[in-house]
Structure 1
Amino acid sequence: MLMVVGLLTGCAVGPDYAGPPKLNMPSHWGSKAASQHDAGRLDRWWLRLRDPLLSRLIEQAAEANPSVAKAKAVVREARATLQQTTVGLLPSVSGTASVTNNKTSAGSSSVLVDSAAYALHQASFDSSWELDLFGGTQRSIEAALRAEQSAEENLRDSLVTLIGDVAAYYVEARGYQARIALAERTAASQRDTERLTRSKYEAGSATAVDVAKATAQAASTEANIPTYQAALAADIHRLGILLGRPPDGVASMLAHSAPVPALRMPLPAGIPADLLTNRPDVASAERKLAQATAKIGQAEADRYPAVSLTGSVGTSALSAGDLAKYSSISWSVGPSITVPVFDAGKRHAAVRVAEAQRDQAFATFHATLLTAIEDVENALVSLSRERIRATKLAEAAKNYREAARLSRSLFESGSASFIDVLDAERSLYSAEDSLIQSKVSAAKDYIALAKALGGGWVDPIDVSTPIIVDQNTEPHLWQALK
């Protein structure tokens, strides 16, 4: 009998999940700028930017960000659900005990006789165990396990997104600081040109138009500074929120300007197939597909008979000391079977629902994977093109700088017109400002590529500590609601 039960409890219905689906994936990236060799390690990719403050901000954000804290709580919930589901494989036992005072009356309609009051002591133990004959409970455990794995990948995805956002806003902030400094330097130089032009006007070698244009150009450059300052403040405020602080929580850390983080070394892109394991949103979608597949078997098992073993032991006596006497003990044990006879196709429809949900999960997984490949391709192209653009802008800025120096020197000696100086200074400012923006764009493309490849946090993540630690949870006097 035990062998038969063991064999039956090893049965399972529904499809078995055979791993990630075989999809037609490209063997290499379309961008020629991608490195096709081994993907290498993408963990802590931000260290390649060699900015200690950025690294410190990222570590603090990973500890205190509210979205990450929520993702940790979801993992705890999924683990508790798995533990709760696993209990379904074990028998349940409950016990009851009671003491009641009793008194009865008996007799005819004219004569009533009261019996003496007595106390009745009772105790019992009841147990039940539903045999998992067709693997319904095993399938539910499998689904809960896949849900837990998906939650863990979602936590990793939250960290990947958070790290990328912190790095991007930090780079933008450094970029605006550089643009503010450039505008201030350029405006100061243009004010010098204005004073020189005014001196020449007073000496009769320049016109009032030249003075007005010099003044207007300096004012135009100075007008950019408040715009950049507002954008810088917004980036700093966003960084504060990402670190779980008030908006101005990191303002003191960014009070002093620093260069825009420069790209020190390329990121190893590997091949598209690496996204299946490296990118957490793809891995989470694949785990959800596995979960949906297990739920088909769970629904299918409901169409088959359910067998339970039940048993109970009870005792009752007028004295507590007599409860253990054999004559006071009663017991029962035996199997029970529930057979679905007619439900108008309800259980069959439940299987069709689970199959449709599995198809939806597959479509979501497929779309997530395609989006991931697209993200990498776009980041690779953007990064490679921006590097070329930055090289050309650096060359332009160098030549405009020389042209501005020469035109100003010639203007001071009276060998060049003010228009030449005006045009050279405007072109130099535009080229240098564009170069700063290009450096920021290149760094953000680098960050986008790291996110697209799934690079991020690899250190162990403690999810055991709840956000709120309840106090006074033991039995206590009820207090009015506040």
Structure 2
Amino acid sequence: PYGGSWYSENNVLASASWDLDLWGKNRQRLAQAVSAQRAAEAEMQQARITLAASVARTYNQLAQLYALRDIAAREIDNRKTIGNITNGRVVAGLDTNVERQTANGNIATSQANLSQIDGQIETVRYQLGALLGKGPDRGLQIANPMLNPVASVALPDNLPADLVARRPDIVAARWQVEGAMHDVKEAKAEFYPDVNLAAGFGFDAFGWGKFLNFTSRQMNIGPAVHLPI
């Protein structure tokens, strides 16, 4: 500029701060985050158990439907036999056409029942494919269940409390309660003042000649207090 000159100011500063966390606000926030993470893990385990139980329940339902289908098929054979006997009795004059129509109606009813069971089997196969995370084709590839009858399984009369407490849904609920308690403590800590310590060190000088000289040093240190109103 006219009658003057240009100078450059060089500045470098490294600073650090430390939150004293006198009232445990940050500790409670960390504990709440840990509780939320563990609750999510327990909920994931509960989802796995629920899915496994759904697969087992649906597979048993499929086995039951196949057992009912076998019964329905045998019923059709029996009613066809009865129909043949009835036709013979009608020809012999021992029965009338009413008995013949009744026998034919019973056969048709049994066949309709068998067709309904086949539809239910196909639906359950699709459900199993969906539970396995696959498409409908996977459900159609499932072999016919062959379940052997076993003795009934029952829970013992007395269950220890620590054993029941291992259920994932109970564990998740416990972690959710603990997380809520940490939230309350963190909210209470917000009413107290925050005290932080800050410090910095660097150099500040006009021009490059004295920039890194010890005389160009700058230092600062002190507390920072935040008072909520």
Q: TM-score, normalised by structure 1?
A: 0.44
Match of residue 103 from structure 2: 214
Instruction: Give RMSD over aligned pairs.
Output: 2.3
Q: Is the 8 A contact 1:310 1:333 kept in 2?
A: yes
Q: Deviations over 1:266-325 (max 9, x none)?
A: 244442624642321122111111111111211111111110011122324533x86543
> What is the DSSP-based 3-state SS (H/G/I as helix, E as strand, rest coil) of the residue aligned with 1:331?
strand
Q: In the TM superposition, what are the counterparts of 1:392-403 in structure 2 within 5 Å?
A: none
> What is the DSSP-based 3-state SS (H/G/I as helix, E as strand, rest coil) of the residue aligned with 2:122?
helix
Match of residue 266 from structure 1: 153
AA partner of residue 123 (structure 2): A
The answer to whether 1:187 aligns with 2:83 is no
Cα distance in 2 between the residues matched to 1:230 and 1:293:
52
Pick the aligned partner of 1:309 from 188, 194, 197.
197
Cα distance in 2 between the residues matched to 1:133 and 1:252:
64
Give the C-alpha shift of residue 200 in structure 1: 2.4
AA partner of residue 146 (structure 2): P
Pick the aligned partner of 1:127 from 4, 12, 16.
16
Match of residue 32 from structure 2: 143
Cα distance in 1 between the residues matched to 2:23 and 2:118:
67
Q: Deviations over 1:382-434 (max 9, x none)?
A: xxxxxxxxxxxxxxxxxxxxxxxxxxxxxxxxxxxxxxxxxxxxxxxxxxxxx
Match of residue 281 from structure 1: 169
The answer to whether 1:327 aligns with 2:223 is no
Q: In the TM superposition, what are the counterparts of 1:287-302 in structure 2 within 5 Å?
A: 287-302=175-190
Cα distance in 1 between the residues matched to 2:162 and 2:100:
62
Percent identity of equivalent pairs: 26
Q: Deviations over 1:139-168 (max 9, x none)?
A: 111211221221121111111111111111
AA partner of residue 145 (structure 2): A
Cα distance in 1 between the residues matched to 2:72 and 2:53:
28
> What is the DSSP-based 3-state SS (H/G/I as helix, E as strand, rest coil) of the residue aligned with 2:34?
helix
Match of residue 169 from structure 1: 58
AA partner of residue 148 (structure 1): Q
Q: Is the 8 A contact 1:175 1:260 kept in 2?
A: no
Q: Is the 8 A contact 1:315 1:323 kept in 2?
A: yes
Give the C-alpha shift of residue 258 in structure 1: 2.8
AA partner of residue 130 (structure 2): I
AA partner of residue 157 (structure 1): Q
Aligned length: 227
Cα 1:132–1:262, aligned 2, differ >3 Å: closer, same or farther? farther
Between 1:225-234 and 1:169-178, the stretch displaced more is: 225-234
Give the C-alpha shift of residue 259 in structure 1: 3.5
Match of residue 205 from structure 1: 94
Cα distance in 2 between the residues matched to 1:192 and 1:260:
30
Q: Is the 8 A contact 1:236 1:248 kept in 2?
A: no
Cα 1:218–1:323, aligned 2, differ >3 Å: closer, same or farther? farther
Structure 2 residues not aligned, in runs of 5+: none
Cα distance in 2 between the residues matched to 1:261 and 1:281:
32
AA partner of residue 98 (structure 2): V
Give the C-alpha shift of residue 264 in structure 1: 3.9
Match of residue 5 from structure 2: 115
AA partner of residue 299 (structure 1): A
> What is the DSSP-based 3-state SS (H/G/I as helix, E as strand, rest coil) of the residue aligned with 1:287?
helix
Q: TM-score, normalised by structure 2?
A: 0.88
Q: Which has the larger radius of gyration?
A: 2
Match of residue 3 from structure 1: none
Q: Deviations over 1:28-68 (max 9, x none)?
A: xxxxxxxxxxxxxxxxxxxxxxxxxxxxxxxxxxxxxxxxx
Give the C-alpha shift of residue 332 in structure 1: 0.8
Q: Deviations over 1:100-156 (max 9, x none)?
A: xxxxx3xxxxxx23635x655432222111111011111111211221221121111
The answer to whether 1:336 aligns with 2:220 is no
Q: Which runs of 4+ in 1 moved over 4 A?
A: 118-121
Cα 1:113–1:157, aligned 2, differ >3 Å: closer, same or farther? same
Cα 1:232–1:322, aligned 2, differ >3 Å: closer, same or farther? farther
Q: Is the 8 A contact 1:275 1:282 kept in 2?
A: no
Give the C-alpha shift of residue 180 in structure 1: 1.6
Cα distance in 2 between the residues matched to 1:283 and 1:137:
24
- Greater relative contact order structure (CA < 8 Å, 6+ sep): 2
Cα distance in 1 between the residues matched to 2:164 and 2:28:
24
Cα 1:323–1:232, aligned 2, differ >3 Å: closer, same or farther? farther
Pick the aligned partner of 2:132 from 211, 229, 243.
243
